[in-house]
């Protein structure tokens, strides 16, 4: 029987279907009120893993979650990511995983989230200008100081994951992955072998429209059989795909949030699993 729980790093017990906070508007007014309501509703629905990052509004998303949820209920893990800084470039950001940069970002995150310790901290991107051992060594020092609990990575290859584990224990990996975007299948396999949590971002992208429209018809057919939505089927497939997968679908609407949470209880038959497993791995659209 499929487990609904996972223990990250052997310490943090969470429900496998989490929530990604990136899409929550953080500006003033009614949009912010709606964001606060969505975050609170996620916890009411039993979500125990919420993902944010320094990059999401340059700290504004972290502040929003603190406003909505602090003091945090027992068992709720708010994970954040560091290693990206704002810049004047066309992209609007740059890598900054220097030891000093990471330490400053962690201190800011602690203040914004109103906590003394970040139970799961993830390196948003490996900084190509800084030796990986120096980046992870800084996070290991922060863990020794008690400011960080478990350490994770984001958007890494199998080789990078292996290299990182020589410096520090890795509890999670957050890579792009979905029913129609399986580029990081080798990374998922490595995580499963090591018992590392795998948090796919954009977990339902491409399954319902766009360039993957051919696949969308197959997903819609399974959804009809289950009286579910294609997004729910996509999430159910992820949960069935591997016991280490912890999807973090994001939304700014309560109705969509509630729809996503229902997917945790949706079970695919062996025939439906086989049908979905066999779909072409097509690229997704932004």
pLDDT at residue number 2: 77
The pTM of this model reads: 0.94
The domains of the chain, with CATH numbers, are 7-207+238-253 (3.20.20.100)
Residues of the chain with pLDDT under 50: 282-286
**What pLDDT does 208 receive?**
62
Taking a C-beta distance cutoff of 8 angstroms, is the pair 24, 54 a contact? no
Sequence-separated (6 or more) residues with CB below 8 Å from residue 110: 116, 117, 118, 147
pLDDT in tens, 113-170: 999 999 999 999 999 999 999 999 999 999 999 999 999 999 999 999 999 999 999 9
DSSP 93-119: EEE--SHHHHHHHHHHHHHHHT-S-EE
- Looking at 162-252, which runs of residues are DSSP E strands? 172-174, 197-198
| Active site amino acids | 56
Summarised one tens digit per residue, pLDDT across range 93-103 is 999 999 999 99
């Amino acid at each position: 029987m499929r487990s609904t729980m996972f223990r990250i790093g052997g310490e943090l017990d969470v429900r496998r279907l989490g929530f990604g906070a990136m899409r929550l508007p953080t500006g003033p007014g009614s949009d912010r009120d709606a964001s606060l309501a969505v975050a609170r509703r996620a916890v009411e629905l039993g979500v125990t893993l919420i993902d944010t990052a320094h990059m999401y509004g340059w700290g504004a998303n972290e502040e929003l979650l603190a406003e909505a949820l602090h003091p945090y209920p027992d068992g709720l893990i708010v994970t954040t990511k560091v290693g990206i800084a704002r810049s004047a470039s066309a992209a609007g950001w740059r890598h900054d995983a220097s030891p000093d940069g990471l330490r400053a970002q962690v201190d800011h995150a602690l203040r914004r989230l109103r906590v003394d310790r970040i139970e799961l901290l993830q390196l948003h991107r490996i900084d190509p200008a800084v030796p990986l051992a120096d980046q992870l060594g800084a996070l290991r020092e922060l863990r020794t100081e008690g400011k960080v609990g478990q350490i994770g990575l984001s958007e890494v290859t199998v080789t990078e994951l292996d290299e990182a584990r020589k410096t520090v224990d890795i509890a999670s990996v957050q890579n792009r992955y979905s029913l129609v975007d399986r580029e990081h299948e080798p990374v998922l396999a490595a995580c499963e072998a090591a018992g590392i949590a795998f948090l796919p971002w954009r977990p339902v992208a491409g399954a319902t429209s766009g360039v993957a429209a051919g696949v969308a018809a197959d997903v819609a057919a399974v959804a009809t059989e289950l009286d579910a939505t294609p997004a729910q089927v996509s999430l159910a497939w992820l949960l069935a795909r591997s016991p280490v997968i912890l999807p973090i679908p994001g939304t700014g609407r309560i109705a969509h949030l509630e729809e996503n949470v229902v997917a945790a209880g949706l079970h695919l038959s062996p025939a439906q699993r086989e049908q979905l497993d066999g779909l072409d791995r097509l690229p997704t659209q932004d």
